[in-house]
Amino acid sequence: MAKPGRPAMPKPDLHPMVDAFLDMLTTERGAAMNTRQAYWRDLADVSLYLRESKGTDINAASTDDLKAYIAHLSQKHIQRVLTTARLLFAQWLAAFLLFVSSIVL
C-alpha cells in the first residue's frame, strides 16, 4: 500500500531469485519486514526499468544496463543516497545469484 500522497507502485512479478534473496535476508540475516519491503521496492524499481527500457531481467543485466539505470535515476533527480542504495541492493542480489548458481552447478 502506498503512503498518503504517493502513487501506488505496480506490483510486478519479479524474478524468482529476488524473492529467494529477500527470504535469505529475512531468515539468515534477521532483516525486519520494513527492511525487506524497502529492498523489494528498490529491486522492483531496477527490475521494472530493465524490463521496460532494456528488455532484460535483473538476473541478466549487464554493467551497461546498470549504468543506464544510474543515468535514468539522475535524470529523474533521485537523491544520490537512494541511487547508491538501489545499486547496493542490486549488487547484493548479483552476489547471491552467483552463490546460488555455484551451489546448483
**pLDDT tens-digit series, residues 78-97:** 666 566 777 777 777 777 76
Rounded Cα distance between 75 and 57, Å, is: 22
What was the pLDDT predicted at 91? Answer: 73
Residue 7 in any domain: the answer is no
Q: How far apart are CA 38 and CA 42, in angstroms?
A: 6
Examine residue 85 and state whether it is found in any structural domain, yes or no.
Answer: yes
The predicted-structure confidence for 2-53, as pLDDT tens digits, reads as follows: 566 667 666 778 888 888 888 888 887 787 888 888 888 888 888 889 899 9
CB 43 within 8 A of CB 58: yes
pLDDT band at 74 (very low <50, low <70, confident <90, very high): confident
Cα–Cα distance, 95 to 16 (Å, whole number): 15
Cell 551451489 belongs to which residue?
103
Alpha-carbon distance of 70 to 16, in angstroms, equals 24
Per the domain annotation, does 75 fall within a domain? yes
Question: Can you give the residue range of the structural domain that contains 56?
Answer: 35-104
Overall domain count for the chain: 1
Determine, yes or no, domain membership for 19. Answer: no
In a domain, 42, yes or no: yes
Distances (CA, A) of 65 to 11, 21, 24, 88, 102: 22, 21, 25, 15, 24
Residue 55 pLDDT grade (very low, low, confident, very high; cuts 50, 70, 90): very high
* Domain contains 13: no
Where does 13-62 have alpha helices with state H?
16-28, 33-49
Does residue 4 lie in a domain region? Answer: no
Residue 55 is assigned to a structural domain of this protein: yes
